[in-house]
Amino acid sequence: MKAYSAYLIDLDGTMYRGNQVIEEAPGFIQWLNEQGIPFLFLTNNSSLTPQRVAHKLGLMGITCGPEHVYTTSMAAAHYISSTLSSHRVYAIGEAGLIEALQQEGCELAEEQPEVVVVGIDREITYEKMAKASLAIQGGAHFLSTNSDRAIPTERGLVPGNGALTAAISVACGKEPQYIGKPESLFVHLALEKLGVNAENVLLVGDNLQTDIAAGVQAQVDTLLVYTGITRPEDLELQAIKPTYAVDHLKEWTLRF
């Protein structure tokens, strides 16, 4: 067993399922806090602000603050401000994306943007997609917060940000650069925010194809928990393998 100096932690399927807390989640975060181990929650959800995510977790008995939350909106905004020389941004998205861009000093531009970034937008219109497509054809950088094609809801699977992004991509004939899991970029940006090296971090998640794949690509050790999407039998069929796998998070803490 290896003692890790920091943790990157998925939310849905790892901390909660929808609005229901996973039983072992609060104790796991309490253990991290007691050990003084820094952590970040990583979420592909671009619509929420860190404050709203932390509030939801707090209501579930999970002790954390906004500083423990890192969304794909935050990662996209930081990538734009730190890597791209162009800061005029046309954004399709909700409050989480808009706030993140503003906090990074990006200029929100309806006309002649130098960057187009797409996040989940449940009020998307034809005109928004048209503006994005035209700007990208005119040379704007094309970013998307994540490639999730569908989102599970009480009604069933509904279109996710990947579906919105795909429509714009087909229209303009160009592929975006994705930020969120399973892309390694999201993990690298999270490591930068934490100020830690990859070899000292453990990424925890329930989804082999997104959480664990992101960790593997970023060369970060991974812990798969069977409280969400991936089941033990799924491992036999996939090339991607986690460093460790447990039934639940309490099983992990009991090893130390």
What tens digit of pLDDT does each residue of 188-245 get?
999 999 999 999 999 999 999 999 999 999 999 999 999 999 999 998 888 999 999 9
Q: What is the pLDDT of residue 114?
A: 96
Q: What is the pLDDT of residue 133?
A: 98
Tokens 């460093």 — which residue?
243
Q: What is the pLDDT of residue 112?
A: 95
* 36 pLDDT above the threshold of 80: yes
CA-CA-CA-CA torsion sign (178, 93, 15, 57)? positive
* 255 pLDDT above the threshold of 80: yes
12 in active site: yes
Q: What is the pLDDT of residue 9?
A: 98
CA distance 138 to 185: 26
Peptide bond into 176 cis (omega under 30): no
10 in active site: yes
Neighbours of 134 (CB within 10 A): 14
Q: Which two tokens stand for residue 142?
A: 């094309």
Q: In Å, what is the CA distance from 104 to each residue of 3, 60, 119, 158?
A: 34, 30, 16, 30
> pTM (2 decimals)?
0.94
Tokens 């890192």 — which residue?
70
Q: Are 188 and 82 in contact (CB under 8 A)?
A: no
* 30 pLDDT above the threshold of 80: yes
Q: What is the pLDDT of residue 219?
A: 96
CA distance 187 to 225: 18
What mean pLDDT, rounded, does the chain reach? 95
Catalytic, out of 12, 206, 211, 221 = 12
Percent of the chain with pLDDT over 90: 90
* 153 pLDDT above the threshold of 80: no
Q: What is the pLDDT of residue 178?
A: 98
* 80 pLDDT above the threshold of 90: yes
Q: Are 195 and 214 in contact (CB under 8 A)?
A: no
Q: Could you give phi then psi for residue 142, rounded to 5 degrees?
A: -115, 110
* 109 pLDDT above the threshold of 80: yes
Domains of the chain listed by start with CATH number: 6-44+181-253 (3.40.50.1000), 73-178 (3.40.50.1000)
